[in-house]
């Protein structure tokens, strides 16, 4: 096991090096120029920026040399800073990128974690029910829910829920994270958070359970037609024991594979949903940084997600040995 983990960690480092190179070169080729935007803003204010000042600004932000060797040198300088856990300083916010991520990550993490828990609690039982009642009423209901979940765009469905629950019924606030007109503390502040986060979380849950239900149903149907399931039934085991003890355990194997993307999804934020409900989550911040050409933040944030993705894949591989005793990691 230790040898396997070390081997995977070595491959993970190589993958991250390749990802860092792709991220850096793509971001440096972005058409958005943060420095030029700042200069345009200064010019619109009536001031004039000299060419020496413009060159000094490009040098200060490490964007002065756009030749191949200049970009390559900038990459190795940025890579060396990464090894010291320095993601750089955000152009837009003027503070370290790691601090920006840390300050806004909590909101996205809380929303994603709650939505993921409810997603699994709803999708897996419904997927099992649809498989065990194939072509029955329950199966058709689940199929309809799957089609809704994978077909509706998040911005459209989020606005539908906001219009119904917030604007027409007035049960929940339409946007934001807290009520700025009231100063809440303690339990009242917690309740204010709950009211503001309910519709965004509901949007994510409904739109995400479809794919999970379809995966569970498909895997469950495949397992239910296996020879050992027929053998278990022939021995006289109860149907509940056959499903929960024998079939469901083997259904977990493909579900574990999907967990590889769970770790980065908890921290990446729901960009469109956060935009619809005006939430100050990391997804919304990342979109704003990309639109404004915040190169250090874009590179640091994407490397952060790349590390989480590699760790998620490694954890998923290790979980195989837990859900399937036949798997021996050597």
pLDDT digits (tens, 9 = 90+) for 171-208: 888 877 777 677 767 777 788 778 888 888 888 888 88
- pLDDT at site 261: 67
What mean pLDDT, rounded, does the chain reach? 76
Q: How many residues are given for the chain? A: 330
- Answer whether residue 60 shows pLDDT above 60: no
- Answer whether residue 65 shows pLDDT above 70: no
Using a CB cutoff of 8 Å and minimum separation of 24, what contacts does 183-188 make? none
- The residue with greater pLDDT, 2 or 119, is 119
Residue boundaries of the structural domains of the chain: 98-278+318-323
Least confident interval from 17-26, 79-88, 230-239: 230-239
Which CATH topology does 98-278+318-323 take? MetI-like fold (1.10.3720)
Q: What per-residue string of b and e applies to 213-240 under the rule 16 or more CB within 10 Å gives b?
A: bbbbbebbbebbeeeebeebeeeeeeee
């Amino acid at each position: 096991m230790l040898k396997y983990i070390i081997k995977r960690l070595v491959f993970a480092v190589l993958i991250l090096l390749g990802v860092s190179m792709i991220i850096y070169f793509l971001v440096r080729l972005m058409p958005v120029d943060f420095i030029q935007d700042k200069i345009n803003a200064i010019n619109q204010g009536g001031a004039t920026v000299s060419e020496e000042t413009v060159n000094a600004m490009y040098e200060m932000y490490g964007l002065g040399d756009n030749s191949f060797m200049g970009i390559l040198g900038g990459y190795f300088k940025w890579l060396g800073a990464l090894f010291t856990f320095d993601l750089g300083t955000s152009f837009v916010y003027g503070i370290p990128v790691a601090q920006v991520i840390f300050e806004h990550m909590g909101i996205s993490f809380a929303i994603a974690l709650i939505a993921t828990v409810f997603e699994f609690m709803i999708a897996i039982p419904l997927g099992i029910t649809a498989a065990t009642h194939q072509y029955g009423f329950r199966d058709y209901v689940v199929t309809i829910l799957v089609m809704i979940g994978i077909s509706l765009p998040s911005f459209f469905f989020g606005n539908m829920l906001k219009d119904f629950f917030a604007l027409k019924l007035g049960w929940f606030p339409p946007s934001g994270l807290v009520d700025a007109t009231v100063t809440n503390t303690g339990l009242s502040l917690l309740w204010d958070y709950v009211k503001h986060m309910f519709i965004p979380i509901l949007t994510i849950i409904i739109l995400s359970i479809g794919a999970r239900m379809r995966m569970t149903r498909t895997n469950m149907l495949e397992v239910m037609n296996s020879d050992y399931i027929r053998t278990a039934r022939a021995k006289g085991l109860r149907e509940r024991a056959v499903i929960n003890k024998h079939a469901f355990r083997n259904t977990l194997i493909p579900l574990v594979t999907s967990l590889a993307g769970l770790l980065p999804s908890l921290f990446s934020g729901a960009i469109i949903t956060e935009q619809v409900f005006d939430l100050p989550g990391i997804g919304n911040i990342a979109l704003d940084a990309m639109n404004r050409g915040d190169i250090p933040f874009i590179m640091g944030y994407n490397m952060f997600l790349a590390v989480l993705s590699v760790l998620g894949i490694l954890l998923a591989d290790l979980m195989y040995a837990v859900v399937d005793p036949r798997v021996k990691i050597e």
